[in-house]
Copies of this chain bind each other. A is one copy, B any other.
Amino acid sequence: MAKKPNAFYAQSGGVTAVINASACGVIEAARKHSDRIGKLYAGRNGILGALTEDLIDTSKESDAAIRALRHTPAGAFGSARYKLKSLEQNRTEYERLIEVFRAHDIRYFFYNGGGDSQDTAHKVSQIGEQLGYPIVCVGVPKTVDNDLPVTDCCPGFGSVAKYVATSIREAAFDVASMAKTSTRVFVLEVMGRHAGWITAACGLAAEKPGQAPHVLLFPEIPFAQEKFLARVDETVKQKGYCVIGVSEGLRDPSGRFLSESGLRDAFGHAQLGGVAPVIANLVREQLGHKYHWAVADYLQRAARHIASKTDVAQAYAMGKAAVEFALRGHNAVMPIIVRTSSRPYAWKVGMVPLAEVANREKMLPRDFITPDGFGITAKCRRYLEPLIAGEDFPPFKNGLPDYVTLRNIAVPKKLKTTFKV
């Protein structure tokens, strides 16, 4: 019997609450097809693991540990913010990947990431052919930013969306209680430097007109200071308080990030990041209201405890489908989520060539934002609502979510050469 080829899986870019659910889907599908796939190796710290021949042998993990990945946030094998250059600029890196794959008889490459990563996966499939080492490359979509094209949504986004909508609703209840004698304006800063999908998700907390959040500040809409202050003032007068969701990527009309608008410490050191304090301070300076602000940062994308059941299911399905596509002979493709109906929500797994998703960003459409630029439309709500539907609580132990840490045992190196990244 011929030796079965091995497979390689790597996580890329910023991690999410459900990227490990995709890993779970890949690994469980590979185990199911052990007649055709030998070992599934994972890259320690993503693609760096391939470049430096630091591979993790996932076969050393128990079925229970792999199953637990489905409810564990972040990247169980380590991820990397490492973008391979173009083939022309750094052909050596691609050749090194093929060298490592060849040494370990890796014939399948599953790359779990956003647009940049799908571009890399696409290039690896091309270089493999050129070097006479055909490798099947299948992407697995992932990004909290929801900015991948073609797919209806991206695994990772639904859970952040559920987190921010839940959090801003809860904080709004708090502010409403306190507004008579204390805080009147609350600002929550959320992720999404270029695309306003997460900011839009804050809007789900308001089920009826006039409910909080009252103002959303999108990265797609240049910050109009006077109009914003007028809206806040009007809201405080009408409701007694005002709740604001703001994107970390909010820019002024000249295109400069508001978070870089000149905050300095006592020593004159450059800004510390955070647009929420900038907005909150503006409100205080110009309107005099007492404020509070929160910056959710990693809390939002790691919040597996409040993950969307839909998101978890889709993340798992994408991982599983990637393996099935590869085994059916598809190459340089990525599974996607195809929405077949919004109400009731229904979706299925589709497929797209990597060439079509690489390096393209999907912004929030203008008709998802209200004409005044401060809210979401009914069309946006119809799109977003199903993505946060359902709960998928992790198991708890001693009062805390019981997340798995894998053994991550290294595969013995076969190459004598090292590679400096």
Q: Does A170 contact B (CB under 8 A)?
A: yes
- A292–B79 Cα distance when bound, in Å, is 16
Q: Does A98 contact B (CB under 8 A)?
A: no
In chain B, what residue has the closest Cβ to A188?
B299
Contacts of A302 in B (CB 8 A): 170-171, 173-174
- A272–B265 Cα distance when bound, in Å, is 11
Q: Does A417 contact B (CB under 8 A)?
A: no
Q: Does A82 contact B (CB under 8 A)?
A: yes
- A394–B262 Cα distance when bound, in Å, is 42
A residues 139-187 near B (Cβ < 8 Å) are: 162, 165-167, 169-171, 173-178, 180-183, 186
Cβ contact within 8 Å between B281 and A265: yes
Q: Does A45 contact B (CB under 8 A)?
A: yes
A residues 386-421 near B (Cβ < 8 Å) are: 388-391, 393, 396, 398-401, 403
Contacts of A304 in B (CB 8 A): 170
* Interface residues contributed by chain A, number (CB under 8 Å): 82
Cβ contact within 8 Å between B162 and A400: yes
Cβ contact within 8 Å between B401 and A169: yes
Contacts of A74 in B (CB 8 A): 170, 173-174, 176-177
Number of copies of this chain in the oligomer?
Answer: 2
- A245–B215 Cα distance when bound, in Å, is 30
Given A81-B181, A400-B169, A403-B173: A299 touches B294 (CB 8 Å cut-off): yes
State the Cβ distance, A26 to closest chain B Cβ, in Å: 16
- A129–B207 Cα distance when bound, in Å, is 49
In chain B, what residue has the closest Cβ to A176?
B74
Cβ contact within 8 Å between B293 and A294: no
Contacts of A45 in B (CB 8 A): 180-181
From A78, A180, A262, A301, residue with most partner B Cβ within 10 Å: A180
Q: Does A263 contact B (CB under 8 A)?
A: yes
Cβ contact within 8 Å between B269 and A261: no
- A299–B276 Cα distance when bound, in Å, is 14
Q: Does A115 contact B (CB under 8 A)?
A: no
- Name the contact of A11 in the complex, choosing from B73, B177, B298, B398 (C-beta under 8 A): B177
Q: Does A274 contact B (CB under 8 A)?
A: yes
Cβ contact within 8 Å between B265 and A174: no
Given A205-B400, A281-B265: A305 touches B166 (CB 8 Å cut-off): yes
In chain B, what residue has the closest Cβ to A19?
B177
State the Cβ distance, A140 to closest chain B Cβ, in Å: 16
State the Cβ distance, A398 to closest chain B Cβ, in Å: 6
Contacts of A14 in B (CB 8 A): 178
A residues 289-309 near B (Cβ < 8 Å) are: 292-299, 301-306, 308
Q: Does A376 contact B (CB under 8 A)?
A: no
- Name the contact of A263 in the complex, choosing from B272, B389, B403 (C-beta under 8 A): B272
- A272–B48 Cα distance when bound, in Å, is 39
Cβ contact within 8 Å between B48 and A181: yes
- A261–B186 Cα distance when bound, in Å, is 23
- A277–B272 Cα distance when bound, in Å, is 6
Q: Does A136 contact B (CB under 8 A)?
A: no
Cβ contact within 8 Å between A391 and B393: yes
Given A265-B262, A292-B298: A390 touches B385 (CB 8 Å cut-off): no
Cβ contact within 8 Å between A389 and B393: no
- Listed A/B pairs (18) with beta-carbon separation below 8 Å: A14-B178, A48-B180, A72-B173, A74-B170, A74-B173, A74-B174, A74-B177, A79-B177, A80-B181, A170-B302, A170-B401, A204-B398, A264-B265, A265-B281, A269-B285, A273-B277, A294-B295, A296-B296
- The list of the 4 closest CB pairs from A to B, nearest first, reads A262-B266, A75-B177, A388-B399, A74-B173
